[in-house]
Homo-oligomer: A and B are copies of this chain.
Amino acid sequence: MTEKQENILAKALELFATKGYAATSTAKVAREAGVSEGLIFRHFGNKEGLLSAVLAQGQEKLAAIYNSLEQEFNPRKRLERVIDMTFEVPSEEYVFWRLIYALKWQTDAYDDSGSAAMKALLVETFEAMHYEDPSAEAELIMVLLDGLVTAILLRKPKELNRLQSLLHRRYML
C-alpha cells in the first residue's frame, strides 16, 4: 500500500462519513487526497470498490472488539466491558463509526451478520448471570448501546459519565 493509496482511503472515509457516500464524488476524493481521479479507478476499480476498501480497513476493529470480549469469561466483567468500551470509543475512530452508522440507512448496504454474533455472546452472558429472560436482556442492551453510540457521535453529550455510572448501578457492576 503506497502513500497515495492511503491518502485516498483516508479522505474517502472522511468524506463518505461526513457528506455521505452518494453526495461524495470521486473527483472530490481525488482532489482532497492530492491525486488524479484516474488513480482511484486504477486501484479500486470503481466507486463502490473504494467504499469496500474503506470498510475492509475498519473491519479489523470489529473483529478485535468481538475477540477481546470473547476472551473475558467472567460474565459480570464481560458485561462491564461491553458497556464501558461503548462509552470509551476512541475519538480517532469517530469518522469510521459515523460511516458505518450512516450506511445502515442506505438500503442496500445494511448487514446484520456482525451483530448476530454479539447477540449470541450477550445471551450467553445473561444466562450465566441467571437473568430471567437472557434473550430479551441481550436485545435490550444492544439496542441501548446502539442508541448510545448514536448519541455520542451526533450529540456528543457531556453527561456521559453520569449515564455510565447509572448503567453500572442498574446492572450491579
Contact = CB atoms under 8 A, between A and B. Distances in A.
A56 to B, nearest CB: 21
B136 A159 contact: yes
Interface stretch (A4-12, A31-39, A72-80, A138-146): A138-146
Nearest to A115: B155
- Indicate how many identical chains form the complex: 2
A96 to B, nearest CB: 13
Contacts of A165: 136
Interface string A149-173: 0110011010100110111000000
A93 interface: no
A110 B154 contact: yes
B107 A18 contact: yes
A148 B147 CA distance: 8
Contacts of A148: 143, 147
A147 B106 CA distance: 17
Given A102-B105, A105-B98, A163 B139 contact: yes
29 contacts: A18-B107, A19-B106, A19-B107, A20-B20, A20-B105, A22-B23, A101-B105, A102-B105, A102-B106, A104-B150, A104-B154, A110-B154, A133-B162, A133-B166, A136-B162, A136-B165, A136-B166, A139-B157, A139-B159, A139-B162, A139-B163, A142-B147, A143-B144, A143-B147, A143-B163, A146-B147, A146-B151, A147-B147, A147-B150
